[in-house]
Amino acid sequence: MIETTVLPRFADIADRYDVLFCDVWGVLHNGRNNYPAACEALVRFRQERGPVVLISNSPRPSTDVVAQLRALGVPDEAWSRFVTSGDATRVELSKRSPGPAWAVGPARDAPLYEGTGVGYAETPYEATFVSCTGPFDDDKDQPEDYRERFEVCVERGLTMVCANPDKVVHRGAKLIWCAGALADLYAELGGQVVMAGKPFAPIYDAVMAEAADLMGGAPDPARVLCVGDGIPTDVLGANKAGLDVLFVVGTGIHGAEATGPDGELDHGLIEQMLAKAGAQAKYAIRDLVW
């Protein structure tokens, strides 16, 4: 295990890398507001070092999520390309066309299915597989609310395609459940789950391809830095891909766990969290600041 270095600012190590693979929710915004310092840090990296490819576990296609970023005030200058779990999941959905799929998730995720050739099943009883982008109502639904319906799916031998491996995410100050938590329940019940987002290989293959296109050739993995706030997704995903990672602690889902009584990051707590998950981060930082 490597020891994590806690950084005061990103600029201290930026010149060691040629390209960033940067998470979005929890690093650039919290679903309600953008983080101006983080946006500025990515703009500066692009100006002084190289491209930034955003890598998100959003279940929607990247073209759909760009509009959300702009609405939150994240400048286009902060990123070069964008790859989402939704992009990688569409490949998995297309393999299962025409379905139909029992689609679990809010109506706003409908763009995920456009052009895949997959139809919809009204209930699990008519479906040939399950597609999950999150709870139907993520303001109030709990994973346990789906147990009985998932038991039907598992009994019928249906595979679940999970479009977002994240388990929770901040929306403003509130933590909400994501598709990954539902997928955990499905697997616990004995169901088979297929995931394409972080920490799994398909999304890293896609983002490496984008970087190669931007740079005129595949980047040196030793000069690629992944930036993210989630240990199970961003940190472990970077570890599996053999890439360095900057763990953004303060604005993300682990902030409260890693903060000491004085309100500052506790290096020991960070190391404990990483070790418990079998993960390692070369660097950690409170907020992504240049």
Strand order in the sheet with 224-228: 5-7, 283-285, 244-248, 224-228, 19-22, 52-56, 81-84
- Is 245 in the same domain as 272? yes
- Is 245 in the same domain as 211? yes
Considering the chain, what percentage of its residues have pLDDT values greater than 90? 77
- Is 188 in the same domain as 91? yes
Q: According to the model, what pLDDT value does residue 98 have?
A: 97
Domain boundary among 140, 171, 195: 195
CATH number at residue 156: 3.40.50.1000
Tens of pLDDT, residue by residue over 65-112, are: 899 899 999 999 999 999 998 898 998 899 999 999 999 999 999 999
Beta carbons of 80 and 213 less than 8 angstroms apart: no
Strand spans (E) along the chain: 5-7, 19-22, 52-56, 81-84, 101-104, 129-132, 160-162, 168-171, 174-177, 193-195, 224-228, 244-248, 283-285
Domain boundary among 180, 195, 210: 195
Q: According to the model, what pLDDT value does residue 171 have?
A: 78
- Is 37 in the same domain as 13? yes
Residue 37 lies in a domain: yes
Tell me how many domains the chain contains: 2
- Is 222 in the same domain as 81? yes
Q: According to the model, what pLDDT value does residue 194 have?
A: 93
- Is 174 in the same domain as 205? no
- Is 217 in the same domain as 170? no
Cα gap 227→20, rounded to integer Å: 7
- The whole domain housing 190 covers 87-195
Cα gap 140→26, rounded to integer Å: 21
Residue 280 lies in a domain: yes
Beta carbons of 236 and 279 less than 8 angstroms apart: yes
- Is 26 in the same domain as 164? no
- Is 232 in the same domain as 279? yes
- Is 242 in the same domain as 176? no
Which pTM does this prediction carry?
0.81
Residue 290 lies in a domain: no
Residue 126 lies in a domain: yes
Average pLDDT per 10 consecutive residues for the chain, totaling 290 residues: 91 98 94 95 98 92 89 97 92 93 94 94 96 93 96 98 86 84 97 92 93 97 97 96 96 73 81 93 96
Beta carbons of 228 and 238 less than 8 angstroms apart: yes
Domain boundary among 141, 162, 195: 195
Q: According to the model, what pLDDT value does residue 19 have?
A: 99
- Is 185 in the same domain as 203? no
